[in-house]
């Protein structure tokens, strides 16, 4: 019998997200997992792991129960039961109406990095019996969440000292660019990006190819090449599909494999860097993970890189790998 932690769903009012350019809610539902012994020992303080959901997810997605796939709290229960030190788990909501924010600040979506780092982390530290200080704080996620974890850790070593990525976005050359042209085929059905967005908003059921097109060009464009006026630039010409080098260069500034050298100092402060990806990832992210692994090695930055024989989807069973490592590293 696995002792079960408790889940509290916080309705978190973000000042930072208020009035965001996409009109997304500034109140977010954020589940917080408290280990099974949290109530029993009121003097104990716990490390905190921030779990970042993937694209099209929301904060609540990570706690949804289902028949054959464990939820994040169930996984954390297992990890603790198996002997790892207990930790608090916070599951922020980084969604936008077009799929997700990549957990970074952008004039086209909102200040999602600030919302987590400047607002949510202090709030959690006030509300719960956390162990204070970055040494006891980690960040991890899957897919866009794995990306967000790496970027938040690189940019905020004074906040996070443990980071893990499951199949995170990286090496955009292989992870994003190959999918641009299929996305353009979809967008061009509607004659313009604006037309496409109107059509997307109106779909009672979001078509798969439309959601993919939205992800790869609109949401990523909003995240990586947003403009001060709230608009965003595409890294390809919509009609001819020709790469716009200047915009693409802006995207690459946000590519973890490019950022690694720039943020080497921060990465060296981490108590844990764990990167894994399945060897059949449909978005080619295992190649990105290998490249990041090589660059970290070249920079002499301690880290762990793992692969497993699977694709990008439904890899919840892998999450114990990071949860256990983080719980142990941040104790």
Q: In the set 191, 280, 297, 302, which binds a copy of itself (CB under 8 A)?
A: 280
Burial category of 306 from C-beta neighbours within 10 Å (exposed 0-12, middle 13-18, buried 19 and up): middle
Whether residue 319 contacts residue 274, with contact meaning beta carbons closer than 8 Å, is answered with no
Using N-to-C axis directions, what is the helix angle for 319-329 and 72-81, rounded to 10°? 50
174 binds a copy of itself (CB under 8 A): yes
Q: In the set 46, 251, 254, 287, which binds a copy of itself (CB under 8 A)?
A: 287
206 binds a copy of itself (CB under 8 A): yes
277 binds a copy of itself (CB under 8 A): no
The count of chain residues that interact with a copy of itself, using the rule CB under 8 A, is 48
Kindly indicate which of the ranges 128-136, 216-224, 263-271, 313-321 contains the residues binding a copy of itself, using the contact rule CB under 8 A: 313-321
- Give how far Cα 149 sits from Cα of 144, 202, 228, 274, Å: 9, 32, 25, 11
195 binds a copy of itself (CB under 8 A): no
| Edge-to-edge strands, sheet with 6-13 | 6-13, 27-34, 88-90, 48-52, 137-142, 162-166, 272-278, 304-308
279 binds a copy of itself (CB under 8 A): yes
Written as six digits, the tokens of 12 are 């978190």
254 binds a copy of itself (CB under 8 A): no
Written as six digits, the tokens of 250 are 């802006």
DSSP designation for 115? I
Q: In the set 192, 231, 297, 314, which binds a copy of itself (CB under 8 A)?
A: 314
Residues within the interface to a copy of itself (CB under 8 A):
29, 56-58, 60-61, 64-69, 95, 97, 99, 171, 173-174, 177-182, 184-185, 204-206, 211, 239-243, 279-280, 284, 287-288, 290-291, 294, 310, 314-317
């Amino acid at each position: 019998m696995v002792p079960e932690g408790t889940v509290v769903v916080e309705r978190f009012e973000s000042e930072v997200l208020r009035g965001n350019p996409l009109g997304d809610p500034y109140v977010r539902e954020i589940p917080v997992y408290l280990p099974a012994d949290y109530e029993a020992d009121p003097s104990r303080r716990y490390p905190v792991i921030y779990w970042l959901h993937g694209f099209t997810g929301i904060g609540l997605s990570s706690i949804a129960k289902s028949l054959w796939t464990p939820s994040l709290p169930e996984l954390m229960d297992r990890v603790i039961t198996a002997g790892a030190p207990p930790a608090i788990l916070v599951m922020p909501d980084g969604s936008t109406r077009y799929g997700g924010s990549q957990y970074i600040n952008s004039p086209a979506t909102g200040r999602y990095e600030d919302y987590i780092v400047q607002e949510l982390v202090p709030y959690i530290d006030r509300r719960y019996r956390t162990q204070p200080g970055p040494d006891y704080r980690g960040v991890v996620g899957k897919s866009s969440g794995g990306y967000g974890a790496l970027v938040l850790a690189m940019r905020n070593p004074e906040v996070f000292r443990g980071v893990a990525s499951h199949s995170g976005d990286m090496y955009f050359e292989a992870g994003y660019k190959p999918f641009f042209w299929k996305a353009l085929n979809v967008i061009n059905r509607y004659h313009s990006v604006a037309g496409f967005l109107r059509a997307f908003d109106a779909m009672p059921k979001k078509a798969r190819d439309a959601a993919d097109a939205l992800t790869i060009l609109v949401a990523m464009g909003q995240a990586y090449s947003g403009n001060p006026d709230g608009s965003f630039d595409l890294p390809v010409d919509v009609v001819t599909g020709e790469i716009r080098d200047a915009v693409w260069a802006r995207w690459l500034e946000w590519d973890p494999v490019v950022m690694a050298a720039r943020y080497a100092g921060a990465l060296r402060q981490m108590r844990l860097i764990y990167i894994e990806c399945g060897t059949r990832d449909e978005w080619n992210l295992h190649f990105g993970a290998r490249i990041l692994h090589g660059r970290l090695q070249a920079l002499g930055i301690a880290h762990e890189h793992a692969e497993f024989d699977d694709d990008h989807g439904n890899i919840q069973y892998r999450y114990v790998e990071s949860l256990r490592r983080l719980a142990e590293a941040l104790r």
